[in-house]
């Protein structure tokens, strides 16, 4: 199980701390959170343990967030620090980031906390890994230099342990070295542990019996870890006690492998706590064993060199021994010559040796080496070699170092040879010895020099080369072969060129030819194949010519140095500078956009500039900016770059169900990035994918534009023609632009709302002024129209009262009084109708009605007025037209008003035509006159209340201007429409009325047939078995509706008031309620509120339909608010009412 990350939270608000804790708990981050709320506790926590992350509020009671950041950076500068605050403004945020904060998150947007934490941890880990890599390179260089200088193996291994301790203070390291048979560890190197630990490890066995991790690691050839030595029953008690006594509670061992794949020893990392190694410690173990392997191999090379040297000496001694057998007794030679018997007593010593001892032959012969004061170690070594000669009959050659009796300190070489008797047995051993100190010192110096050279060329990847005057290899180049992997057959002559990178061969050869011609220093850089890493690495080559006495070039000598790491660092620096330049340009772009947002007033230009900035920052090929229309919940394309015209048209409006990235981002409210549209699952086989392909788009991202309140106001998108994944930095910069665009849209939206509000206020003010003006004009007209008839009535009445009129004048006076009284009655009736209409109380008695009859009746009422002006009324009525459902009296009032207007505004001798036609399911009445006509500017207002084209005191035509308003209301109550047409003044006018026909009813002539059955004409009973409660205070309406519903199969209970309806519900629960709205005492709204307050068992949930003459949208909304499911306007077609009830209960 992974060790949880340690988080420190500095927060003095308990509720906020719990919200932060909850946000982190919802994430997948394995962590432990410690909360503190004071400066003292914060400092104590930092001193007590290390933390992987610090979270801190900005405003605190006893100090601010910047002070906390400074404390944290002083004590743990590498730990990421994130501010979590509710009031961190832009300036404070910038100050915090400059001070070293990793990020900041607003408490209002805690959904961003986990991504911010993950990003901070990732960046801290990357920084730590970079630092560790740099430390490893430094330590590796120092260790390799130590090894290359020829230091003893134990010193090199101790240096590795010290290096590991510098890289981490959590472990102690040691090495255990194997014997030749790889069965035990005869010795160890334990610089970080007491000597007693190394002594306890001596001769530790190598096997798989879990005696210790080092033995098992070497035996298995793989790393072994023990997380709890004290409780691991696989360990023997002896080795467990040894570790525990030295504070080792857990360990990790990794074998040191030689180049032949055989183990040479084991590296042991010791931990003072029960735990698993960290990834860093695993990496250090691998690093330590790799460097140790180099040290082991160098030691092995030293021993191999010694054996080669010994073989050379043996050959030379063998030749010398043959000569000594013929001249063994000669004392003139410079070597020390002697012979032994089987007991190690001297049988012979030449004069040179006797002079060395300072003895005579008589004094020396028969003595042993001990008698002559030879050091015990030297005596024992020579006696052992002598016995082997007696036993094997073979010559033995060896060397020793000692201080001889004459006080000479140095190296001596000796040869022991058998002297055979006649029977073939060895009867004595003769030998010789010489001082080889000078040669030994020279050989050692040569060996060290050669070893340093070999190791340095191997480790430092530097190659020394020699070529002939033309540049060809004429002898094997071991270093070249080791580095490039080219054999002598491959690199001889000019074969070395094949190891160069193909792109570098021509320029490198050109520089070589130039240096050869000029006989000057050769220098070049390029790339060459490196066999070990199997890659081309950067190198630099230098060479100088060596001249013959005659001035000609004898050869060239030089070296090749691996500069790959340096070159990579230079390239990285160049890339870093390039990135900084790009970031600077992006920053300047953002500053420019910010400035333009403040100064530029052209909104279209601003969107285009913002889009260009996003394309530049995201390095995309195309882009777009969209605005969200909340009422449609759709995005509209405002600005784009690079899109195909067809694609731009296709994405002009984007809905929530769109498969484009902007549609998905709009639905989810989060950024959507698609690196490759061809592999995107939600785009597969969609129109959006086809249009992406049409525009050559391969990758796309869409980022919602969020207002400061978190509301989506638009979308900004970028498109690439190749597969592409935007970087985190690019997306962060895009977020800055997105916030600016969102603020711009918010600001412009607010400005537009303010402008609309001003316009609405101005319009309302103008409407109020116009209403007041119309009211004043109407009152003036009303006063005039009411007073005008009174004048002749009162005048003739007084004359009649005086009795001064003759019979003819009396008759004429009475007719005048009657005519003006009727005129005034009509005016009052119009006023009452308007009042009823505006209060929603104009009642209709609906029944099948013939419009031809209605028109004929209306014409009779205006015929005398027409005849008085010599106006001809022409009828053009379709006799086969179907009936309508309506109130015949009110419909006659409509036609009469239209005809009255036509006669009034048509001059003497004019003509009025009335047409009746059927258009599909509509009946159309047209009243056409040849009169005054209507001004086009007044035409839209002709049906408004109290409106007259000429409202002045000098007008030619009287009236209140109510007739056409009444016409429109009555027609609309019948479900119809009315409008006027006129080409202008003095060109006549046409008024058209269209009313819905009764479907499935035969006309008076019986020649038209409906294609759809009606509940009134066919035996169809859609409401069979349903109980319906019908509420209406108009008897005629109530009786008609009850008849209609009973004909459709329903059982109808009829009541005349809301109170009676409630009493009925106490008796039974109907299947549906149909109720009028405008009723006395308790209207339909009050009734439904009472019903909905009841429990279901008392009818509280019975479906209900409002059937009313109130036709405004407000009336429909109010009906639904109080509990009606459906709102139907009177007059209603019978089948529409039946279908509404059936649908409600379906």
**pLDDT of 703:** 94
Q: Compute the average pLDDT of residues 328-354.
A: 79
pLDDT-derived band at 570, boundaries 50, 70, 90: confident
**pLDDT of 2:** 64
**Rounded Cα–Cα distance for residues 193 and 158 (Å):** 11
**pLDDT of 60:** 80
> Considering only CA atoms, which of 197, 216, 193 is closest in space to residue 206?
216
What DSSP designation does 469 have?
A: T
**Rounded Cα–Cα distance for residues 171 and 267 (Å):** 12
Here the tokens at position 427 are 């009867």
> Mean pLDDT lowest for which of 416-420, 579-583, 1007-1011?
1007-1011
Q: Between vectors from CA 950 to CA 949 and to CA 954, what angle results, nearest 5°?
A: 170
Q: Structural domains in the chain?
A: 5-130 (3.40.50.2300), 150-306 (3.30.450.40), 333-450 (3.30.450.20), 461-564 (3.30.450.20), 600-757 (3.30.450.40), 845-950+960-996 (3.30.565.10), 1027-1145 (3.40.50.2300)
Note whether 578 and 725 are within 8 A (CB).
no
What DSSP designation does 497 have?
A: G
Q: Compute the average pLDDT of residues 102-129.
A: 85
Here the tokens at position 885 are 């459902």
**pLDDT of 3:** 77
Would you give the end-to-end CA distance of the chain in angstroms?
A: 61
> Mean pLDDT lowest for which of 92-106, 223-237, 320-334, 705-719?
320-334
pLDDT-derived band at 843, boundaries 50, 70, 90: low
Per-residue pLDDT reduced to its tens digit, 1088-1114: 999 999 998 899 999 999 987 666 667
Residue 245 pLDDT exceeds 50? yes
Q: What b/e string do you get for 48-80 counting C-beta neighbours within 10 Å, with b at 16 or more?
A: eeebbbbbbbbebeeeebbebbebbbeebeebb
Here the tokens at position 127 are 């920084």
Q: Which residues contact 294 (CB under 8 A, 6 or more apart)?
A: 144, 147, 459
- What is the DSSP pairing of strand 409-420 with strand 426-435? antiparallel
**pLDDT of 226:** 92
Cα dist from 564 to 82, 453, 540, 560, 868, whole Å: 38, 21, 9, 12, 117
- Cα 396 vs. chain centroid, distance in angstroms? 80
- The pLDDT > 70 percentage for the chain reads 84
Q: Compute the average pLDDT of residues 1122-1145.
A: 83
Per-residue pLDDT reduced to its tens digit, 454-510: 555 555 457 888 899 999 998 888 888 888 999 999 988 999 999 999 999 999 999
Q: Is the dihedral of CA 164, 168, 169, 173 positive or negative?
A: negative
Per-residue pLDDT reduced to its tens digit, 417-429: 999 888 888 989 9
**pLDDT of 957:** 44
**pLDDT of 597:** 56
Q: Model pTM?
A: 0.32
> Considering only CA atoms, which of 467, 493, 469 is closest in space to residue 551?
469
Residue 364 pLDDT exceeds 80? yes
pLDDT-derived band at 853, boundaries 50, 70, 90: confident
> Mean pLDDT lowest for which of 162-171, 612-621, 812-821?
812-821
Q: Compute the average pLDDT of residues 1076-1082.
A: 85
Q: 131-135, 223-227, 707-711, 799-803 — which one is most confidently predicted on average?
A: 223-227
**Rounded Cα–Cα distance for residues 1062 and 1088 (Å):** 10
- The pLDDT > 90 percentage for the chain reads 30
**pLDDT of 593:** 60
Q: Between vectors from CA 909 to CA 905 and to CA 913, what angle results, nearest 5°?
A: 65
Here the tokens at position 1123 are 């509990």
Residue 956 pLDDT exceeds 60? no
Q: 359-368, 557-566, 607-616 — which one is most confidently predicted on average?
A: 359-368
Residue 89 pLDDT exceeds 70? no
What DSSP designation does 37 have?
A: -
Q: Compute the average pLDDT of residues 590-598.
A: 58
**Rounded Cα–Cα distance for residues 90 and 88 (Å):** 7
Side-chain-facing half-sphere of 644: CA atoms under 13 Å: 13
Residue that wins the pLDDT comparison between 126 and 511? 511
Residue 265 pLDDT exceeds 90? yes
Here the tokens at position 449 are 């020099």
* Average pLDDT taken over every residue of the chain: 82
Residue that wins the pLDDT comparison between 440 and 343? 343
């Amino acid at each position: 199980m992974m060790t949880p990350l340690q988080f420190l939270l500095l927060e003095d608000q308990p509720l906020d701390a719990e919200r932060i804790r909850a946000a982190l708990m919802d994430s997948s981050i394995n962590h432990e959170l410690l909360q503190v709320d004071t400066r003292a506790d914060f400092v104590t926590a930092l001193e007590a343990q290390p933390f992987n992350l610090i979270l801190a509020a900005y405003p605190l009671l006893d100090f601010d967030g910047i002070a906390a950041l400074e404390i944290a950076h002083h004590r743990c500068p590498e730990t990421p620090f994130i501010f979590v605050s509710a009031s961190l403004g832009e300036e404070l945020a910038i100050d915090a980031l400059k001070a070293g904060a990793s990020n900041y998150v607003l408490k209002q947007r805690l959904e961003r906390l986990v991504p911010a934490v993950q990003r901070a941890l990732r960046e801290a880990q990357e920084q730590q890994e970079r630092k560790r890599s740099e430390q490893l390179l430094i330590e590796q260089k120092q260790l390799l230099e130590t090894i290359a200088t020829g230091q003893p193996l134990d010193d090199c291994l101790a240096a590795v342990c010290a290096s590991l301790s510098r890289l981490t203070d959590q472990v102690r390291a040691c090495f255990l070295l194997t014997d030749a048979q790889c069965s035990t560890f005869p010795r160890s190197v334990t610089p970080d542990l007491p000597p007693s630990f190394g002594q306890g490890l001596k001769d530790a066995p190598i096997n798989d019996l879990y005696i210790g991790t080092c033995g098992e690691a070497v035996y298995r050839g793989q790393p072994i870890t023990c997380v709890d030595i004290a409780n691991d029953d696989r360990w023997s008690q002896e080795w467990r006690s040894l570790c525990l006594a030295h504070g080792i509670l857990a360990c990790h061992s990794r074998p040191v492998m030689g180049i032949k794949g055989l183990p040479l020893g084991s590296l042991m990392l010791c931990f003072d706590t029960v735990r698993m190694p960290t990834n860093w410690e695993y990496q250090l173990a691998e690093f330590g064993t790799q460097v140790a392997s180099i040290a082991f191999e160098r030691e092995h090379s030293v021993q191999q060199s010694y054996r080669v040297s010994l073989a050379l000496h043996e050959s030379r001694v063998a030749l010398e021994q043959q000569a000594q057998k013929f001249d063994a007794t000669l004392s003139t030679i410079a070597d020390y010559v002697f012979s032994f018997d089987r007991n190690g007593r001297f049988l012979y010593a030449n004069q040179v040796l006797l002079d060395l001892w300072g003895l005579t032959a008589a004094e020396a012969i028969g003595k042993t080496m001990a008698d002559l004061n030879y050091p015990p170690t030297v005596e024992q070594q020579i006696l052992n070699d002598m016995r082997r000669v007696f036993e094997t009959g073979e010559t033995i050659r060896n060397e020793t170092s000692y201080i001889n009796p004459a006080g000479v300190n140095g190296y001596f070489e000796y040869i022991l040879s058998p002297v055979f008797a006649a029977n073939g047995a060895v009867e004595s051993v003769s030998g010789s010895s010489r001082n080889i100190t000078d040669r030994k010192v020279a050989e050692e110096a040569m060996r060290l020099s050669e070893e340093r050279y070999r190791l340095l060329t191997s480790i430092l990847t530097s190659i020394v080369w020699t070529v002939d005057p033309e540049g060809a290899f004429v002898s094997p180049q071991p270093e070249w072969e080791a580095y490039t992997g080219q054999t002598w057959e491959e690199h001889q002559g000019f074969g070395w060129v094949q190891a160069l990178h193909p792109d570098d061969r021509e320029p490198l050869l050109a520089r070589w030819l130039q240096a050869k011609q000029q006989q000057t220093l050769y220098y070049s850089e390029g790339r060459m194949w490196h066999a070990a890493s199997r890659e081309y690495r950067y190198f630099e080559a230098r060479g100088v010519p060596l001249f013959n006495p005659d001035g000609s070039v004898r050869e060239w000598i030089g070296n090749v140095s691996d500069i790959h790491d340096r070159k990579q660092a230079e390239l990285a620096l160049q890339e870093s500078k390039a990135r900084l330049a790009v970031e600077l340009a992006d920053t300047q772009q953002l500053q420019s956009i910010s400035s333009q947002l403040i100064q530029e007033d052209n909104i279209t230009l601003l969107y285009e500039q913002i889009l260009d900035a996003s394309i530049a920052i995201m390095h995309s090929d195309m882009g777009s900016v969209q605005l969200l229309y909340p009422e449609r919940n759709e995005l509209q394309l405002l600005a784009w770059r690079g899109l195909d015209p067809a694609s731009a048209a296709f994405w002009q409006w984007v809905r929530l169900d769109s498969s484009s990235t902007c549609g998905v981002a709009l639905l989810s409210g989060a950024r959507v990035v698609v690196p490759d549209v061809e592999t995107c699952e939600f785009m597969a086989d969609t129109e959006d994918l086809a249009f992406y392909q049409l525009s050559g788009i391969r990758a796309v991202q869409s980022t919602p534009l969020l207002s400061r309140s978190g509301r989506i106001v638009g979308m900004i998108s970028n498109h690439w023609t190749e597969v592409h994944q935007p970087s985190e930095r690019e997306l962060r910069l895009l977020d800055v632009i997105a916030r600016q665009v969102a603020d711009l849209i918010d600001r412009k939206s607010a400005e537009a709302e303010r402008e609309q509000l001003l316009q609405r206020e101005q319009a309302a003010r103008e409407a109020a002024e116009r209403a007041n003006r119309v009211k004043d004009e109407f009152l003036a007209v009303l006063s005039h129209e009411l007073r005008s008839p009174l004048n002749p009535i009162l005048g003739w009445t007084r004359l009649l009262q005086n009795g001064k009129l003759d019979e003819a004048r009396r008759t004429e006076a009475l007719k005048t009084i009657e005519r003006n009284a009727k005129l005034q009655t009509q005016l009052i009736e119009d006023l009452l109708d308007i009042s009823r209409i505006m209060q929603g109380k104009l009642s209709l008695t609906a029944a099948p009605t013939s419009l031809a009859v209605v028109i004929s009746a209306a014409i009779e009422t205006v015929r005398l007025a027409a005849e008085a002006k010599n106006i001809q009324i022409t009828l053009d009525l379709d006799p086969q037209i179907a009936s309508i459902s309506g109130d015949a009296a009110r419909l006659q009032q409509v036609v009469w008003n239209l005809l009255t207007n036509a006669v009034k505004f048509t001059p003497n001798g004019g003509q009025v035509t009335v047409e009746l036609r059927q258009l599909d399911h509509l009946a159309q009445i047209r009243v056409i006159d040849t009169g005054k006509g209507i001004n086009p500017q007044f035409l839209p207002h002709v049906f408004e209340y109290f409106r007259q084209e000429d409202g002045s005191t000098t007008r030619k035509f009287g009236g209140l201007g109510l007739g056409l308003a009444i016409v429109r209301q009555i027609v609309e109550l019948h479900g119809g429409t009315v409008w006027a047409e006129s080409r202008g003044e003095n060109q006549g006018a046409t008024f058209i009325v269209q009313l819905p026909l009764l479907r499935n009813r035969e006309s008076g002539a019986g020649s038209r047939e409906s294609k759809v059955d009606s509940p009134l004409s066919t035996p169809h009973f859609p409401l069979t078995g349903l109980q319906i409660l019908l509420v209406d205070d108009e008897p005629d309406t109530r009786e008609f509706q009850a008849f209609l519903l009973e004909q459709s199969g329903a059982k109808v209970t009829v009541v005349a008031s809301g109170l009676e309806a409630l009493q009925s519900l106490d008796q039974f629960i109907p299947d549906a309620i149909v109720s009028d709205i405008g009723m006395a005492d308790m209207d339909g709204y009050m009734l439904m509120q009472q019903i909905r307050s009841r429990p279901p068992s008392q009818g509280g949930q019975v479906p209900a339909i409002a059937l009313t003459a109130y036709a405004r949208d407000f009336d429909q909304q109010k009906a639904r608010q109080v509990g009606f499911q459906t709102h139907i306007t009177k007059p209603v077609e019978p089948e529409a009412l039946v279908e509404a009830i059936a649908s409600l209960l379906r």
